[in-house]
Structure 1
Amino acid sequence: MSENFKGSVVVYSILGCPHCMRTKKSLKELNVPYTDVRLDLFPQIKDEVMERSGMRTVPQIYFNAKLIGGNDAFQTLIKDKAAWEEVLKDVRENVLPEGSLIIPDPSTAVAEADFFSIQCEPDEYFALVNQMKTDNIVRTHGNFLKSHKNAFSGQDFRTWILEKKELDNDRAMEMGQALLDHNFATPLKTGESFKGGNELYILTEEDGSGSLNGGGVSECVPKSANQLGELLRKMILKLYSIYLSEDGKQVDYKGIKTSDEFRAYTQMTRELIRIDIKSAPREEKIAFFINIYNALVIHANIEKGPPKNLFGRYKFFNNTKYIIGGHPYSLQDIENGVLRANRKGVGQIFNPFGSKDPRLEVALEVHEPLVHFALVCGAKSCPPIKTYTAEKIDEELKVAAASFLENSDGCDIDMKNKSIKLSSIFKWYKVDFGSNNKELLEFVASHMAKGQKLSDLKELMSQGNYKLSFLQYDWSANSKA
């Protein structure tokens, strides 16, 4: 601490948390020294920190042993001159009581992995596909009216294996099916298995949808959905730690685009093309697709720029895609098709996936409403960016919901005017939260952290004479000019 402070100001935070960044920026502007304890680097103390504070969200701000709360509570404190002077006086004059806070030994921090040094186990079928290209087995089929690039017929492949590899017909058919099973190719007619006739098969890397990870596949044996999804997300958070402003409001997308780290990230997205996601359990799918959605938004902002109007947002969410497990998934497909169990999204006339769409097998059986507090759309009113894991996804989503509702851009309550204002997310996806306003508010109350805001909400709900409205959504982008 500085010479003017005998005590300590401690901020418990995590990497990539905008509210944490705003708190730390304010402390610096106020010339208040502080100790930043990142719980992602000290996971061994996380549970105890949460238990002591009674909070499930970060930042958690302490002036000596006094818990201020989160960023909203801190910003309110600053505006109250008398209260602010009182907490400052405490840290100026008094030493932090021994054992009152958990301050870990820096040497016990978990090393931040080098996310860009990725081990690769070569896939034998990658070399086979390259040979097919060299020997012109893969080529354009059709005529000037309708053609299919980077395609091969079952007959050409079977003959090539028999002659070039000198293998028998049964083995040729097995290898053809393996190309489909490993997501190197997909049949022109959806759902078909490999046949040795005139049927066409298209290389997955050239799906024609304009996917941001198209144009080539990874030569590595696919990682598990959980492993790859978490790895990609951590890489994006690493980029944010370098190029995100301290207040969490601006991102240097131009700087990211020219960085070596981003080039490594875009190369890794090709591993998504052949990943097996159909067989993943519910928890793994949710964590995987949340992480991929958030990474895809950032990738699109860098490559395309943020949408500037309503039509631009429509194109952005419907046309921004990754090839995942052999099929293209747009942002709309991920949110409404997979995570909302194939429900119509805002402005959609039909469900994202038709009855014969192979992606329907990937969709959750039951929608998960808490994903709305984890998906980051790239606008200022979106929830903060976090990393999600399959092992703790349900608890992490509850924390995300509580964190979102703790701040005024998620829920704002005015007791004087008996007013409850919620994020527009609750209006757009009301069907996910309840069939009427009463059920909606019961959902909100059940996911709000304990505190004055929850008490106020319950009081207004019990009185029944409140006014419910929805906050204007700030779609402005967080990119630097």
Structure 2
Amino acid sequence: PRLPRVPSTATRGAGQPVRAQLHRWQHAASERVSSSHSRAHRRARQQQLRPHLPTPAGARAAAAPRLHRASRHRPGHEQQQQLTTPPCANHAPALTQVAAAAPPGPCSCGHGRRGGSATRRWTVEARLRRGARRSRLFSKKRRELLAVEIGKELARKHFIHHVFRENDFEDGTQSLYRFLEHDPAVPRYYNFRGSTNDGEPKPAAAVGQRMTKIMVAILEAYASEDRRRLDYARVAASEEFRRYANLARDLQRADVFALPAGERLSFFLNLHNAMAIHAVIRTGQPAGSGAVDRRSFFTDFQYVVGGYPYSLTTIKNGILRGNRRQPYTIVKPFGASDKRLELAETKVNPLVHFALCNATRSSPTVRFYSAQGVEPELRHAAREFLLDGGVEIDLETRTVHLTRIIKWYSADFGQDRDILRWILNYLDPTKAGLLTHLLNDGGPISIAYQDYDWSLNA
């Protein structure tokens, strides 16, 4: 339909903005009428009308009356503009008809226009910024998780450890860790040579078996026939000992916690006896003639095994005796939070006291044990030690003379009569008969302890 023509005096009196608004309404109405025409015709029509339409900036720059925006619109919203100054009475009906015929369109200032390159550009940039932030957060979190995994792997392979050895590895600002070679106790680790052995950690069982074979070869070559004497000078200069010292480095990061319970006993028995030989060679003959005087020999000479330090005292009292106090001390080897408690024996086997050699003449014969036959080998070692002067019975004075080892570790054997009954299982028939007579006749029995010879078994 043809729009009613508005007299030019109305537009001339209303000013340029009114004329611009009427042109927009006419354009919108013509667009609706020509909606069935081809797209090319509409584009041509738009090209013809666009030069005659004032720009939004020109419309806003006009003097008066100005078009008023009822409210600021978000991109994509459409709202019909209202005139701040109403038209005169003559032109009001025509403007009303034009407004009714024209569809709502965008504001003259440009608000309400759908889409647009600026809006699309803002949306894309916002999405890119959000994606970049998410990517940075994800990358940071991923790097943190990767760093924690690397730290756990280094701790598991014993390259690093907690400064107080309280845990393996935990993420947090309160936990401090250091490399194994930075440990202040490194000078006391005699299987450590300047830096950590960075090879792949070897199974503790395999390392223990190789050490046992080398030590058995050393005993066959440099010990007396009864194995009670050892030539330490020749051992120190031998090729076998050099191989043993190199092999001991593999203990630095060996996972002893993975050892089965059956193999753990023989492993630490052999490690104790090998360390005693190594200690004499490296530090010389211990000074003093008593357990208190030689305490440094038993505590200062250490190996680092699986990232943790072990001395002769630690192995004997902490592992093999189930974390019991050493004689003449009041402190247990392991604290409540010490991870090495997992390796401690749950039940004390008194036979271990006759299997540990501390390089003295009164100590048991130096031996090395197999993982499969450790129990019968322990019984054989106890029987041999007790028959070779470890027990003497005086029937006239009703006195039993025992090795001083039993006195020092009486908590592992029990009361006096319990000790005597336990010894019966490891005596020959003659001594067993005498001791049985003393136990069964109801008379008193005295127990005396032999002197201990602290001289070197060389």
TM-superposed CA distance for 1:420, in Å, is: 1.2
Q: 2:179 aligns with which of 195, 199, 203?
A: 203
Report the Cα distance in structure 2 between the residues aligned to 1:295 and 1:445, rounded to whole angstroms.
31
- Equivalent AA in structure 1 for residue 151 of structure 2: G
TM-superposed CA distance for 1:376, in Å, is: 0.5
TM-superposed CA distance for 1:199, in Å, is: 5.0
Count of aligned residue pairs for this structure pair? 312
Give the strand-richer structure, 1 or 2.
1
Is the counterpart of residue 241 in structure 1 residue 220 in structure 2?
yes
- Equivalent AA in structure 2 for residue 269 of structure 1: A
- Equivalent AA in structure 2 for residue 195 of structure 1: D
- Equivalent AA in structure 2 for residue 193 of structure 1: F
Is the counterpart of residue 267 in structure 1 residue 270 in structure 2?
no
Report the Cα distance in structure 2 between the residues aligned to 1:327 and 1:186, rounded to whole angstroms.
9
Structure-2 change in CA distance of 1:208 and 1:241 (3 Å): farther
> Paired residue for 2:325?
344
| C-alpha contact 1:177 1:193 (8 A) present in aligned 2 | yes
TM-score (normalised: structure 2): 0.63
Superposition map of 1:83-102 within 5 A: none
Is the counterpart of residue 180 in structure 1 residue 155 in structure 2?
yes
Q: Please give the secondary structure, in 2, of the residue aligned with 1:301.
A: helix
> Paired residue for 2:77?
none
TM-superposed CA distance for 1:449, in Å, is: 4.4
> Paired residue for 1:191?
167
Structure-2 change in CA distance of 1:206 and 1:305 (3 Å): farther
TM-superposed CA distance for 1:171, in Å, is: 3.4
TM-superposed CA distance for 1:225, in Å, is: 2.9
TM-superposed CA distance for 1:312, in Å, is: 4.1
Is the counterpart of residue 451 in structure 1 residue 429 in structure 2?
yes
Q: Please give the secondary structure, in 2, of the residue aligned with 1:177.
A: helix
Report the Cα distance in structure 1 between the residues aligned to 2:271 and 2:156, rounded to whole angstroms.
22
> Paired residue for 2:403?
423
Deviations 1:292-341 (A, max 9, x none): 00000000000001212135411101112111111111111111111111
Structure 1, gaps ≥5 residues long: 1-161
Q: 2:412 aligns with which of 429, 432, 437?
A: 432
| C-alpha contact 2:161 2:169 (8 A) present in aligned 1 | no
Report the Cα distance in structure 2 between the residues aligned to 1:370 and 1:325, rounded to whole angstroms.
26
Report the Cα distance in structure 1 between the residues aligned to 2:392 and 2:206, rounded to whole angstroms.
38
TM-superposed CA distance for 1:237, in Å, is: 2.5
Report the Cα distance in structure 2 between the residues aligned to 1:251 and 1:385, rounded to whole angstroms.
9
Q: 2:355 aligns with which of 374, 382, 397?
A: 374
Report the Cα distance in structure 1 between the residues aligned to 2:456 and 2:377, rounded to whole angstroms.
26
Report the Cα distance in structure 2 between the residues aligned to 1:205 and 1:340, rounded to whole angstroms.
30
| C-alpha contact 2:228 2:366 (8 A) present in aligned 1 | no
Is the counterpart of residue 412 in structure 1 residue 392 in structure 2?
yes
| C-alpha contact 2:424 2:432 (8 A) present in aligned 1 | yes
| C-alpha contact 2:303 2:310 (8 A) present in aligned 1 | yes
TM-superposed CA distance for 1:254, in Å, is: 2.1
Deviations 1:131-157 (A, max 9, x none): xxxxxxxxxxxxxxxxxxxxxxxxxxx
> Paired residue for 2:379?
398
Structure-2 change in CA distance of 1:469 and 1:176 (3 Å): same
Superposition map of 1:46-61 within 5 A: none
> Paired residue for 1:11?
none
TM-superposed CA distance for 1:198, in Å, is: 8.5
Q: 1:276 aligns with which of 225, 233, 255?
A: 255
Deviations 1:70-113 (A, max 9, x none): xxxxxxxxxxxxxxxxxxxxxxxxxxxxxxxxxxxxxxxxxxxx
- Equivalent AA in structure 2 for residue 384 of structure 1: T
Report the Cα distance in structure 2 between the residues aligned to 1:401 and 1:247, rounded to whole angstroms.
15
Q: Please give the secondary structure, in 1, of the residue aligned with 2:447.
A: strand
Deviations 1:437-466 (A, max 9, x none): 1111111113x1442121222122222333
Q: 1:295 aligns with which of 269, 274, 278?
A: 274
TM-superposed CA distance for 1:196, in Å, is: 7.5
Structure-2 change in CA distance of 1:268 and 1:221 (3 Å): same
Report the Cα distance in structure 2 between the residues aligned to 1:392 and 1:246, rounded to whole angstroms.
22
| C-alpha contact 2:219 2:227 (8 A) present in aligned 1 | no
- Equivalent AA in structure 1 for residue 296 of structure 2: K
Structure-2 change in CA distance of 1:219 and 1:259 (3 Å): farther
Deviations 1:112-133 (A, max 9, x none): xxxxxxxxxxxxxxxxxxxxxx
- Equivalent AA in structure 1 for residue 279 of structure 2: A
Q: Please give the secondary structure, in 2, of the residue aligned with 1:274.
A: coil
Give the helix-richer structure, 1 or 2.
2
Report the Cα distance in structure 2 between the residues aligned to 1:226 and 1:263, rounded to whole angstroms.
21
TM-score (normalised: structure 1): 0.61
Structure-2 change in CA distance of 1:438 and 1:326 (3 Å): same
TM-superposed CA distance for 1:227, in Å, is: 2.7
Higher RCO (CA-CA < 8 Å; seq separation 6+): 1
Report the Cα distance in structure 2 between the residues aligned to 1:247 and 1:402, rounded to whole angstroms.
15
Report the Cα distance in structure 1 between the residues aligned to 2:269 and 2:302, rounded to whole angstroms.
14
Report the Cα distance in structure 2 between the residues aligned to 1:392 and 1:192, rounded to whole angstroms.
34
- Equivalent AA in structure 1 for residue 298 of structure 2: F
Give aligned-pair identity as a percent.
35
Q: Please give the secondary structure, in 2, of the residue aligned with 1:202.
A: strand
> Paired residue for 2:310?
329
TM-superposed CA distance for 1:411, in Å, is: 0.9
| C-alpha contact 2:152 2:168 (8 A) present in aligned 1 | no
| C-alpha contact 1:226 1:287 (8 A) present in aligned 2 | no
Q: Please give the secondary structure, in 2, of the residue aligned with 1:271.
A: helix
> Paired residue for 1:305?
284
| C-alpha contact 1:213 1:323 (8 A) present in aligned 2 | yes
Q: Please give the secondary structure, in 2, of the residue aligned with 1:337.
A: helix
Q: Please give the secondary structure, in 1, of the residue aligned with 2:153.
A: helix
Q: Please give the secondary structure, in 2, of the residue aligned with 1:412.
A: strand
Report the Cα distance in structure 1 between the residues aligned to 2:213 and 2:287, rounded to whole angstroms.
28
TM-superposed CA distance for 1:205, in Å, is: 4.1
Structure (1 or 2) with the larger CA radius of gyration? 2
Query: Cα RMSD over matched residues?
Result: 2.4
TM-superposed CA distance for 1:383, in Å, is: 0.9
Report the Cα distance in structure 2 between the residues aligned to 1:391 and 1:205, rounded to whole angstroms.
35
TM-superposed CA distance for 1:469, in Å, is: 0.7
- Equivalent AA in structure 1 for residue 214 of structure 2: M
Report the Cα distance in structure 1 between the residues aligned to 2:272 and 2:310, rounded to whole angstroms.
10
> Paired residue for 2:8?
none
- Equivalent AA in structure 2 for residue 321 of structure 1: Q
